[in-house]
């Protein structure tokens, strides 16, 4: 039975009808599934050139950068290219008042100046292999879910062990098509990765959060790093003796430029999509989760922005916090608009009617699938309001910095009360907390946080009946005559966490019994009791239902494939290496509006505003612009192209991915999507969804003409005419 099931899926996968540009494809199957279409769309290389286990291929130049981005090797000396926003944390960590690399940029003028980044890793894929049969070995149809997972877990451990025995590689097994298929990934991880170059934020983050997720875009979102290896070219921990890694493959770069309709593809690591969920799942995202996030995060963003406008000090203190919230917040808004516009829920409901009909057409299908959608509906009906409440409470209570920070003292209180915890442990915790407190207070403004408290608590108490809230909050609220401003005063005037001056002496001389001070602190109490309340009311319901949903999705995914044998299915993104392909193209975002596919330096000058932080233009860049000093990097039209859009289906994680041309040359660096198209994680639509990439010529121009780091260009392999 199990075999049959896999065969049905395999047949479904290998019958290839025409498709649109939608899809994030598994490189292993490119030859069977996509090559013909890619060739018809203009590709001049083969599937083997892109992914091969027998000889070097483009895949040998693609890496996971850190935990959530892609990067690519662009020289024979291990130089890698990724986004500025992917390297941001590293660039920031090297920055100080004397060396402010975030503001001024950083360029190593020779290898000795490159900066080490403890903890930063890059991961190469050595090979991948389907292991569905081995993973499902011993899994019986009538098994209950927990026995099933236990068996699968046991098999996976064995597969991984066998796969990397006596090698220096790592193994990973991941589920595809909602646990219907499994693939093994053999990876090689390098741990000595050094910072080579980064433009100033006025280039690398030009337009900031204002332009984020938007087209037309002018952000020079790139940074450069280098992989180091030991003398045998193998991964090694940082050492002065390490030498630049000699890669199996590095990308050639084309400065020929990009034209409307050119074939392009993107090779990288998209993180997560949910294209096959039922209408109820979309409803949960769009009507329960996103609106709460949009409303509550929006309140915080407004307060932060106002404070940042009023004070240069707060601008610096809250920049990273704002960027962190604003990216997800803005995406949720775009996603909701896109889903409404595409009528995704209606389309899914229409499909579900068809599905229901199909599921009634044979006894076997009736048995397997007929109740499936009802079961989904029942679970989502229960889950959706709980989810909303849980997110509402979390966003409002832990959106307050004081409460979120107080929560980090839980371990200390627990350890202090635990007789088995030794003095060393307590001392270590105190010293960690002290370090963390430096970072916290460096970027903390009580007045800003109080405004956030008032806004979020007002929202919470007007949305919720008191019976739905933790007693610690309702008690305070009622004791303060149901006035959140009074409540705020009470909490902020009493808590030790509001000031470093109160807290540091406590940490400096911390003795076990001091936990009593922490434990009775009002902010700490709110943090802990809200956590307990959320666990008992929401978390258990959510996790039990999520498990049920996983198992229903496994069946529903298989059923969708069975129902549409002529459709070429791609698996949802799961942070494994994928190929997306499409064409360079502008788009019409709304009635009467047409967007060109590329932007230029002229646009940077149009946006320039010395009074608005996001739109400051560096003097050197202005000078190059005024003298039209573009070196070999100008377009044939005489302008300096900055970014371009194409129809490649991408997601979070594709940041830093190479945009490649028909010959497999690097022509751009992916970093974002257009706002109108952010629903592509749920519903891709070729008329609205565009990926945004940096034109590689702008990147080279900045390295060469702006930074004077021509020695880096010399390392690269550039094809021009």
Question: Can you give the binding site for ligand ASP, defined by CB under 6 A?
Answer: 650-655, 671-673
Q: Does 676 bind ligand ARG (CB under 6 A)?
A: no
The yes or no reply on residue 85 touching ligand ARG (CB under 6 A) is: yes
323 binds ligand ARG (CB under 6 A): yes
Picked from ligand ARG, ligand ASP, none, the partner binding residue 222 (CB below 5 to 8 A depending on kind) is none
Q: Which of 123, 155, 202, 212 binds ligand ARG (CB under 6 A)?
A: 212
Catalytic residue from among 57, 75, 84, 85: 85
Residues 60-79 that bind ligand ARG (CB under 6 A): none
> Are 284 and 319 in contact, with CB atoms under 8 Å apart?
no
Q: Is the dihedral of CA 524, 528, 529, 530 positive or negative?
A: positive
Helix (H) or strand (E) holding 668: strand 666-673
- Cα(280)–Cα(382) distance, rounded to whole angstroms? 11
- Using CA atoms in the order 339, 344, 349, 353, what is the torsion angle rounded to 10 degrees? -170
Q: Which is nearer to ligand ASP, 384 or 654 (CB)?
A: 654
Cβ distance to ligand ASP smaller for residue 498 or 650: 650
Q: Tell me which of 101, 106, 183, 213 binds ligand ARG, using CB under 6 A.
A: 213
> Is 677 near ligand ARG (CB under 6 A)?
no
Q: Which of 635, 397, 372 is nearest to 533 (CA)?
A: 397
Output the smallest distance, CB 616 to ligand ARG, in A: 15
Euclidean distance between CA atoms 616 and 514, whole angstroms: 49
Residue 268 Cβ, how far from ligand ASP at the closest point, in Å?
9
Antiparallel, parallel or unpaired: β 717-719 and 252-254 = parallel
Tell me the Ramachandran region of residue 12: left when phi exceeds 0, alpha when psi lies from -120 to 50, beta otherwise. alpha
Interface mask (CB under 6 A) for ligand ARG, residues 606-645, using x and -?
Answer: ----------------------------------------
Nearer to ligand ASP, 293 or 705 (CB): 293
Q: How far is the CB of 327 from ligand ARG (least distance, A)?
A: 4
Work out whether 92 is an interface residue with ligand ARG (CB under 6 A).
Answer: no
Catalytic one among 75, 396, 495, 655? 655
Judged by beta carbon, residue 229 or residue 679, the one nearer ligand ASP is 679
Interacting partner of 653 out of ligand ASP, ligand ARG, none (Cβ under 5 to 8 A depending on kind): ligand ASP
Q: Which stretch binds ligand ARG (CB under 6 A): 191-199, 205-213, 294-302, 567-575?
A: 205-213
CB of 698 to ligand ASP, least distance (A): 18
Q: Give dist(CA 560, CA 553) in Å, integer.
A: 10
Is residue 392 involved in binding ligand ARG (CB under 6 A)? no
Look at residues 498, 371, 372 and name the one whose alpha carbon lies nearest to residue 440: 498
The structure tokens listed for 372 are 């499936």
Least distance to ligand ARG, CB of residue 221, Å = 7
Q: Is 209 one of the binding residues for ligand ARG (CB under 6 A)?
A: yes
Q: Which residues contact 196 (CB under 8 A, 6 or more apart)?
A: 79, 107, 108, 114, 224, 225, 226, 712
**Whole-number minimum distance, CB 619 to ligand ARG, in Å?**
23
Residue spans of alpha helices (H) in 121-260: 132-135, 145-164, 201-204, 208-211
Q: Is 329 in the site for ligand ARG (CB under 6 A)?
A: no
- The answer to whether 461 and 484 are in contact (CB under 8 A) is yes
Q: Which residue is nearest to ligand ASP (CB)?
A: 655
Place of tokens 């959320």: 534
651 binds, among ligand ARG, ligand ASP, none (CB under 5 to 8 A by kind): ligand ASP
Number of residues lying near ligand ARG (CB under 6 A): 10
Residues 272-292: b if buried by 16+ CB within 10 A, e if exposed: ebebbbbbbbbbbbbebbbbb
Nearest to 190 by CA among 238, 231, 138, 151: 238
Site for ligand ARG in 437-456 (CB under 6 A): none
C-beta closer to ligand ARG: residue 202 or 665 = 202
Give whichever of 85 and 250 is closer to ligand ARG, judged by the CB atom. Answer: 85
- Smallest separation, CB 68 to ligand ARG (Å): 9
Number of helices and strands in the chain (H, E): 30, 22
Cα–Cα distance for residue pair 409/507, rounded to 1 Å: 11
123 vs 651, beta carbon nearer ligand ASP: 651
Alpha-helical segments (H) within 343-483: 344-359, 363-369, 372-398, 401-407, 410-417, 423-442, 446-463, 471-479
Both tokens of residue 580? Answer: 């997306």
∠262-265-270 over CA atoms, to 5°? 145
Q: Rounded distance, CA 87 to CA 224, Å?
A: 8
Choose between 257 and 338: whose C-beta lies nearer to ligand ARG: 338
Active site residue 221: yes
Q: Which long-range contacts (CB under 8 A, 24 or more apart) does 111-119 make?
A: 111/226, 111/244, 114/194, 114/195, 114/196, 114/226, 115/194, 115/195, 116/192, 116/194, 116/238, 117/90, 117/93, 117/193, 117/194, 117/195, 117/225, 118/238
Least distance to ligand ARG from the beta carbon of 277, Å?
Answer: 21
Q: Is 435 helix (H, G, I), strand (E, B) or coil?
A: helix
Binds 208, which of ligand ARG, ligand ASP, none (CB < 5 to 8 A, cut-off by type)? ligand ARG
Q: In whole angstroms, what separates CA 54 from the centre of its chain?
A: 32
The conformational region for residue 233 under phi > 0 = left, psi -120 to 50 = alpha, else beta, is left
Residue 301 binds ligand ARG, judged by CB under 6 A = no
Residue 86 CB, nearest distance to ligand ARG (Å)? 8
The entry of ligand ARG, ligand ASP, none that residue 209 binds, CB within 5 to 8 Å by partner kind:
ligand ARG
Of residues 200 and 693, the one with the C-beta less far from ligand ASP: 693
Residues 681-700 that bind ligand ARG (CB under 6 A): none
Which residue among 211, 221, 449, 695 is the active-site one?
Answer: 221
Shortest distance, position 578 Cβ to ligand ARG, whole Å: 17
- End-to-end alpha-carbon separation of the chain, Å? 57
Integer Cα distance of 510 and 507 in angstroms: 5
Contact between 672 and ligand ARG by CB under 6 A: the answer reads yes
Q: Is 131 helix (H, G, I), strand (E, B) or coil?
A: coil
DSSP letter at 243?
A: E
Instruction: State which residue, 672 or 695, has the beta carbon closest to ligand ASP.
Output: 672
Residue from 104, 149, 311, 327 binding ligand ARG (CB under 6 A): 327
CA 696 to chain centre: 22
Task: Report what 212 binds from ligand ASP, ligand ARG, none; CB cut-off 5-8 Å by kind.
Answer: ligand ARG
Q: Which is nearer to ligand ASP, 271 or 394 (CB)?
A: 271
User: Could you say which of ligand ARG, ligand ASP, none residue 323 binds, taking C-beta under 5 to 8 angstroms by partner kind?
Assistant: ligand ARG
Among ligand ASP, ligand ARG, none, the one that 654 touches (CB under a kind-dependent 5 to 8 A) is: ligand ASP
By a kind-dependent CB cut-off of 5 to 8 A, residue 582 interacts, out of ligand ASP, ligand ARG, none, with none
655 sits near ligand ARG (criterion: CB under 6 A): yes
Residue 690 burial (C-beta neighbours within 10 Å; 0-12, 13-18, 19+): buried
Task: Tokens for 272, please give them.
Answer: 């997560």
572 binds ligand ARG (CB under 6 A): no
Tell me whether residue 655 is one of the annotated catalytic residues.
yes
H helical segments located in 227-311: 279-283, 290-310
The reply on whether position 652 binds ligand ARG by CB under 6 A is: yes
Q: Which residues are catalytic?
A: 85, 221, 655
Q: Which residues bind ligand ARG (CB under 6 A)?
A: 85, 208-209, 212-213, 323, 327, 652, 655, 672
């Amino acid at each position: 039975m199990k075999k049959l099931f896999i065969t049905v899926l395999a047949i479904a996968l290998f019958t290839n009808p025409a498709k649109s540009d939608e899809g994030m494809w598994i490189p292993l199957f490119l030859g069977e599934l996509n090559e013909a279409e890619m060739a018809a769309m203009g590709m001049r290389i083969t599937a083997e050139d892109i992914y091969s286990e027998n000889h070097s291929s483009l895949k040998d130049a693609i890496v996971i950068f850190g935990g959530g981005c892609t990067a690519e090797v662009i020289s024979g000396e291990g130089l890698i290219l990724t986004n500025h926003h992917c390297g941001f944390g590293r660039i920031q960590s090297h920055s100080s008042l004397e060396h402010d690399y975030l503001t001024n940029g950083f360029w190593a003028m020779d290898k000795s100046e490159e900066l080490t980044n403890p903890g930063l890793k890059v991961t190469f894929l050595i090979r991948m292999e389907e292991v569905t049969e081995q993973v499902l070995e011993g899994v019986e149809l009538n098994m209950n879910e927990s026995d099933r997972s236990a068996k699968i877990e046991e098999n996976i451990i064995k597969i991984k062990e066998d796969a990397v025995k006596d090698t220096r590689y790592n193994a990973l097994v991941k589920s595809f098509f909602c646990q219907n298929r499994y693939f093994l990934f053999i990876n090689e991880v390098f741990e000595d990765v050094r910072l080579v170059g980064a433009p100033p934020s006025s280039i690398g983050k030009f337009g900031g959060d204002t332009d984020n997720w938007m087209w037309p875009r002018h952000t020079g979102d790139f940074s450069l790093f280098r992989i180091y290896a030991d003398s045998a070219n193998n991964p090694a921990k940082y050492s002065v003796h390490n030498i630049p890694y000699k890669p199996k493959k590095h990308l050639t770069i084309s400065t020929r430029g990009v034209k409307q309709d050119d074939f392009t593809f993107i090779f990288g690591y998209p993180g997560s999509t949910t294209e096959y969920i039922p209408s109820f799942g979309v409803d949960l995202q769009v009507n329960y989760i996103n609106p709460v996030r949009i409303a509550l995060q929006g309140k915080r963003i407004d307060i932060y922005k106002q404070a940042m406008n009023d004070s240069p000090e707060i601008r610096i203190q809250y920049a990273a916090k704002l960027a962190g919230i604003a990216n997800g917040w803005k995406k949720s808004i775009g996603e909701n608009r896109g889903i409404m516009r595409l009528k995704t829920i209606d389309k899914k409901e229409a499909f579900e009617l068809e599905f229901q009909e199909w599921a009634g057409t044979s006894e076997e299908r009736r048995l397997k699938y007929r109740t499936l959608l009802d079961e989904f509906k029942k679970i989502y009906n229960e889950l959706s309001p709980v989810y909303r409440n849980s997110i509402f409470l979390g966003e409002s209570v832990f959106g307050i910095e004081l409460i979120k920070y107080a929560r980090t003292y839980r371990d200390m209180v627990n350890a202090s009360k635990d007789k088995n915890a030794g003095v060393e442990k307590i001392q270590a915790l105190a010293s960690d907390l002290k370090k963390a407190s430096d970072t916290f207070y460096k970027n903390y403004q009580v007045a800003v946080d109080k405004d956030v408290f008032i806004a979020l608590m007002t929202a919470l108490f007007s949305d919720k009946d008191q019976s739905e809230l933790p007693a610690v909050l309702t008690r305070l609220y009622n004791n303060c005559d149901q006035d959140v401003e009074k409540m705020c005063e009470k909490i902020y005037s009493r808590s030790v966490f509001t000031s470093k001056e109160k807290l540091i002496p406590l940490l400096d001389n911390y003795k076990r019994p001091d936990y009593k001070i922490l434990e009775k602190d009002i902010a700490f109490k709110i943090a802990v009791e809200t956590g307990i309340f959320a666990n008992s009311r929401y978390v258990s319901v959510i996790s039990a239902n999520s498990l049920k949903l996983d198992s229903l999705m496994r069946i529903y995914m298989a059923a969708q494939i069975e129902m549409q044998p002529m459709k070429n299915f791609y698996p949802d993104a799961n942070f494994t290496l994928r190929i997306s392909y499409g064409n360079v193209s502008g788009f019409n975002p709304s009635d009467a509006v047409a967007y060109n596919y590329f932007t230029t330096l002229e646009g940077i000058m149009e946006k320039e505003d010395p009074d608005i932080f996001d739109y400051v233009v560096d003097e050197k860049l202005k000078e190059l612009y005024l003298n039209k000093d573009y070196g070999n990097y100008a377009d044939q039209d005489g302008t300096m192209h900055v970014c371009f859009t194409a129809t490649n289906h991408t997601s979070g994680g594709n940041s830093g991915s190479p945009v490649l041309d028909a010959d497999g040359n690097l022509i751009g660096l992916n970093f974002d999507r257009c706002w109108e198209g952010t629903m592509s994680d749920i519903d891709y639509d070729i008329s609205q969804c565009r990926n945004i990439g940096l034109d590689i010529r702008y990147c080279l121009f900045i390295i060469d003409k702006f930074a004077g780091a021509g020695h880096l260009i010399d390392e690269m392999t550039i094809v021009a005419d």
